[in-house]
Amino acid sequence: MTERLTIPRPDDLHLHLRDGAMLASVLPESARHFGRALVMPNLVPPVVTGADAVAYRERILAALPAGADFRPLMTLYLTEATEAEDVVAAHAAGIVQAVKLYPAGATTNSASGVRDLARVEAVLARMTEAGVPLCIHGEVTDPEVDIFDREAVFIERVLEPLRRRLPGLRVVLEHVTTAEGVAYVQGGGAGIAGTITAHHLVLNRNHLLAGGIRPHYYCLPVAKREVHRRALVAAATSGAACFFLGTDSAPHLDAAKLAPCGCAGCFTAPVAMALLAHVFEAEGALGRLEAFACRNGAAFYGLPVNAGRITLVRGAQHGAQHGAQRGPGTIATPDGPLTVFDPGFAPLWHVEETDA
């Protein structure tokens, strides 16, 4: 049985870092294990221009712990007022890696998102010409559509027609949560990829709802039936180049998570790699973790594999001895506690060390 696994520093290609005091509190947790992260732009106000992205990147770099080997990859928030030339120029200059499409009202801080796709089609056409990837929160917001069906309906009503109109558009269907999403990415050709989170690999909707509501398991897209979780596990552990890691680690203060109308998001950054190693080993696929977490996403975005390394060690005693990874619990922030995602079991793997 494998007891140690050394892989390149992984990429988190879907990460929420927030801003201000929250940024300073959570950034070290991602920088500890990951070499790069695709940083989401849904701040208030959102990151909508190249200049906004430069300013946000500078705030992230200023908040990094000394000596951290971590590179933020920036994104722009697509609005119906987005200027195509600003997007193309920011991408060409290396300021942004991709553009993010939020359907208005779909998730946290998405009020500025797109309500009518026709109003941004000219921008998407220019992005297609320039090779700018579009990252998509793939859910419809029609109140008549059941929340558990929103991803599958989005693929049918929005994504497939969009890709027929713009067949050259490079698309990432983010945080895939359904068997339909897995099948669509698998059959979609070279121009589409899908990210999968660590928490969707271990949660189904029973974990969220059976025996009581567990707010720290509430995220969007919401966890689905067990058949969908199994489809995600099969996809992530398959080695297929079209799937890669995007944790969607999304910190919210406990006061916001436990409110009468609680926020959506799981803060998984400190435990994501341990969870992945646990899941991949259980599937007999530990040798494919490197492809999923380190290589597939880098290849899609045209990036080199990170030069540094991390070592994962099997056995809970190693994590306790080395103190290399924060387990489930809370992180203190200036504004209150922040709960780390707890899967409800002790992962068999822990990150022992990193080598920049």
Residue 346 lies in a domain: no
**342 within domain boundaries:** no
How much is the pLDDT for 149? 98
Count of domains forming the chain: 1
Q: Using omega within 30 degrees of 0 as the cis cutoff, is the peptide bond preceding 167 cis?
A: no
Q: In which region does residue 296 sit, left (phi positive, over 0), alpha (psi from -120 to 50) or beta (all else)?
A: alpha
137 assigned to some structural domain = yes
pTM, rounded to two decimals: 0.95
pLDDT for the residue 306:
98
Query: Tell me: the pLDDT tens digits for 125-156?
Result: 999 999 999 999 999 999 999 999 999 999 99
**Dihedral over Cα of 132, 133, 137, 138: its sign:** positive
The domain in which residue 196 lies consists of: 13-270
Q: Is residue 204 part of a domain?
A: yes
pLDDT computed for residue 326 by the predictor: 46
Residues 1-45: pLDDT tens digits? 779 999 999 999 999 999 999 999 999 999 999 999 999 999 999
Active site residue 69: no
What pLDDT, in 10s, does the model give residues 262-286?
Answer: 999 999 999 999 999 999 999 999 9
Q: Is residue 296 part of a domain?
A: no
Q: For residue 104, what pLDDT is reported?
A: 87
pLDDT value at residue 328: 64
pLDDT at 317: 47
Residue 195 covered by a domain: yes
Residue 74 belongs to a domain: yes
Of the residues 11, 52, 248, 355, only one is catalytic, namely 248
Instruction: Confirm whether 60 is domain-assigned.
Output: yes
Q: Which segments of the chain have a pLDDT < 50?
A: 317-326
What string of H, E and C letters represents the secondary structure of the chain? CCCEEEEECCEEEEECCCCHHHHHHHHHHHHHHCCEEEECCCCCCCCCCHHHHHHHHHHHHHHCCCCCCCEEEEEEECCCCCCHHHHHHHHHCCCCCEEEECECCCCCCCCCCECCHHHHHHHHHHHHHHCCCEEECCCCCCCCCCHHHHHHHHHHHHHHHHHHHCCCCCEEECCCCCHHHHHHHHCCCCCEEEEECCHHHHCCHHHHHCCCCCHHHCCCCCCCCHHHHHHHHHHHCCCCCCEEECCCECCCCHHHHCCCCCCCCECCCCCHHHHHHHHHHHCCCHHHHHHHHHHHHHHHCCCCCCCCEEEEEECHHHHHHHCCCCCCCEEEECCEEEECCCCCCCCCEEEEEEEC
The CATH code of the domain that includes 130 is: 3.20.20.140
